[in-house]
Amino acid sequence: MNATILAPIAGLDAFLADAAKLLPTGALLRGEACQPYEADASSCRGQAAAVLLPDDTATVSALMRAAVRHRVRLVPQGNRTGLVGGAVPDGSGRQVVLSLARMRRLRAFDPLNRSAVAEAGMALSELNRLLEPHGLWLPIDVGSDPAIGGLIGANTGGSRLLRHGDVRRNLLGLEIVLADEQGSVLDLLAPLRKRNAGIDLKQLFVGSGGALGVVTAAAWDLKRRDASVLTLLAALPSRAAALDVLDACEQRFGEMLSAFEVMGESALMATLRHFPALRHPLAESAAGCYALVEIASAMPGLDSMLQEQAETLLATLLQRGLLIDAAFGRPDSLWALRDSLPLALAAEGLPLSFDVGLPRSRLPAFHAAAERWLADEHPALRLYDFGHFGDGGCHLIVLLPRECAAGYSPARLAMLKSALYRLVADHGGAFSAEHGVGPLNAAFYRKHTSDAAQELAAGLQRLLDPAAALGRHRYD
Ligand SMILES: Cc1cc2nc3c(=O)[nH]c(=O)nc-3n(C[C@H](O)[C@H](O)[C@H](O)COP(=O)(O)OP(=O)(O)OC[C@H]3O[C@@H](n4cnc5c(N)ncnc54)[C@H](O)[C@@H]3O)c2cc1C
């Protein structure tokens, strides 16, 4: 049942009157002032009845109480870098954005415990800037700058997931405001690595897209910054070879393998066309794809050992025909190639983006099947791929050349997306690898999630949010 339709709207004015009393001056926005909060980094746009900017947990709790009482829907929002529209209100003009942007304090920092407690509105870059002098960081490495609450809402992955894991794996604790009549504050913030004292409730909220509670603060398991780093670009004959090279890198470097990002040859060429200042160190090698490989350790003084080991490994891979060529390079210039890809592809035409996750052993077969399918069914469209190959993540872009766009109605595009996600499912994959669930992929959640799993998620949401007062995406 869709709770959006059921949510009564009569209480909106009464709620806003209450909210105005609870918030400091300038912290309740209406009309045009809401515009910046009505979109995220996806194509999603909505219309907010208002935007609320609380300063502290007690105010979030009071606002939640009022929202439940008046049956008004709050949409929690971080830095709006999400790619599925999860923080964007719908188009009804009746949903209210709850932005945590003013809650950005570092509440606690314990260098000996390697932990920090940061409020939900603090930007990831700000947290890492504060930690840098202590040689520590929160190792979620993304091309955007999310807020702490958004990291948890989306369970963000990123380029170092292979070594450090996603948000879930780096989280020690949470403070959550619940959507019950009291606006209860659930304090699960203790920065403990060992706590096996019952159900780990905090994990319920990770990746739930703000649908089960409002994150107001989080405790993090910090990591030492890398002191020895080796970065190289490898030109490879095929994605099947990429898999063998990945395996060989893991055998040689173990947990020091920090990133293994694969870029299709056509994706890299498009990037060089659009960013001519970028330098491609292997421009002459006719490769099927490229791997950006990073090997790193927090232990200082390993650089020459890493270089020697990598050279030996590369020589073996060349002999085995798994490698065409390779170049060591400065991390920033090699990562610039990878990080410029999405922007370059967007400039090539109209991109349809797919963030899919597969068992990494099946990535080459999946890619080949996707290429065949596109050539057969949509020969005018182009396929690009790049992504976190090392952890099974794949960003696929189906590009519509501008001259073809008119031939693709919304219904035809929906069929195209369905067919691609079917292919992902046939290869044992997930329709969302790291961007989470929101209005942009909600239909695929319904299609590719078992009835039993959907019913359990819906039951959880009904239990935690009986008044349907929270979250853009509803599981019920
Ligand atoms: C250039 C670029 C590169 C990116 N690269 C990656 C990548 O490599 N890996 C990856 O995983 N993602 C990536 N992303 C996606 C995005 O940055 C992440 O999803 C990010 O975590 C979203 O954080 P945010 O603060 O912007 O959240 P928002 O977009 O504001 O919100 C995201 C979700 O979290 C919920 N939410 C926000 N705050 C709270 C809160 N306080 N309590 C409860 N729920 C909340 C929202 O309701 C929404 O459902 C990228 C995005 C861009 C634009």
- 371-426: per-residue pLDDT in tens? 999 999 999 999 999 999 999 999 999 999 989 888 999 999 999 999 999 999 99
Residue limits of CATH 3.30.70.2740 in the chain: 349-436
Residue 163 has a pLDDT of: 97
Place of tokens 């990002």: 261
Which residue among 104, 105, 156 is best mutated to probe the pocket of ligand 1, counting the most ligand atoms within 8 A of its Cβ?
Answer: 156
pLDDT at 243 over 60: yes
What distance in Å separates the CA atoms of residue 12 and residue 71, rounded to the nearest whole number?
A: 8
- 205 CA: nearest ligand 1 atom: 43
* Distance from residue 373's CA to the centre of ligand 1 (Å): 31
> Does residue 7 have a pLDDT over 70?
no
Q: Evaluate whether 474 touches 79 at the Cβ level (below 8 Å).
A: no
CA 197 to ligand 1 center in whole angstroms: 30
Distance 153 CA to ligand 1 centre (A): 7
The one-letter amino acid code at 459 reads G
- Domain 349-436 is found in CATH 3.30.70.2740: yes
Q: How many residues does the chain have?
A: 476
Q: Distance from the CA of 247 to the center of ligand 1, in angstroms?
A: 31
The CATH number assigned to the domain with range 3-102 reads: 3.30.43.10
Q: Give the position of tokens 């090698």.
A: 285
Name the residue at shortest CA distance from atom 3 of ligand 1: 143
Q: Give yes or no for residue 472 having a pLDDT over 50.
A: yes
3-state helix vs strand vs coil in the chain, percent to 5? 40, 20, 35
Local confidence band at 9 (pLDDT 50, 70, 90 cut-offs) = low
**Distance separating alpha carbons of residues 468 and 462, to the nearest angstrom:** 8
Q: Under DSSP, is residue 166 helix (H, G, I), strand (E, B) or coil?
A: coil
- Residue 3 in this model has a pLDDT that exceeds 60: no
387 φψ region: left (φ > 0), alpha (ψ -120 to 50), beta (else): left
Q: Which amino acid is at 74?
A: L
**CATH 3.30.70.2190 spans which residues of the chain?**
228-340
Cβ neighbours of 90 (radius 10 Å): 17
Q: What is the pLDDT of residue 346?
A: 85
Measured CA distances, 382 to 267, 270, 408, 451, 458 (Å): 10, 12, 14, 34, 38
> What is the predicted pLDDT for the residue at 221?
98
- End-to-end Cα spacing for the chain: 6
| Cβ atoms of 270 and 383 closer than 8 Å | no
- Ligand 1 contacts (CB < 6 A) are 40-41, 75-83, 86-87, 100, 120, 142-144, 146-147, 149-151, 153-154, 156-158, 209-210, 214-215, 434-435, 438, 472
Among residues 242, 246, 433, the alpha carbon closest in space to that of 356 is found at 433
* Four-residue CA torsion sign, 317, 322, 323, 328: negative
Contacts of 252 (CB under 8 A, 6+ apart): 309, 313
Which ligand 1 atom minimizes the distance to the CA of 78?
Answer: 30
Q: Where in the chain is the domain with CATH 3.30.465.10?
A: 106-224
Architecture of domain 228-340: 2-Layer Sandwich (3.30)
Query: In 10 A of CB 290, how many CB atoms?
Result: 28
Query: Which of 61, 77, 98, 292 for mutating ligand 1's site (highest number of atoms within 8 Å of CB)?
Result: 77
What was the pLDDT predicted at 6? 41
Q: How does the average pLDDT of the chain come out, rounded?
A: 95
- Mean pLDDT, rounded, for 180-193: 97
How far, in Å, CA of 226 to CA of 136, rounded? 9
325-341 tens-digit pLDDT: 999 999 999 999 999 99
Give the whole-angstrom CA distance, residue 210 versus residue 127: 21
CA of 434 to the centre of ligand 1 (A): 10
Distance 23 CA to ligand 1 centre (A): 25
Q: Write down the pLDDT at residue 90.
A: 97
The architecture in CATH of the region 106-224 reads: 2-Layer Sandwich (3.30)
Helices marked H in 191-236:
202-205
- Å from CA of 146 to ligand 1 middle: 6
C-alpha 288 – ligand 1 centre gap (Å):
32
Which residue among 51, 79, 88, 142 has the greatest number of ligand 1 atoms within 8 angstroms of its CB, and so is best to mutate? 142
Query: pLDDT digit string (tens) for 340-364?
Result: 998 898 888 899 999 999 999 999 9
Check pLDDT > 60 for residue 5: no
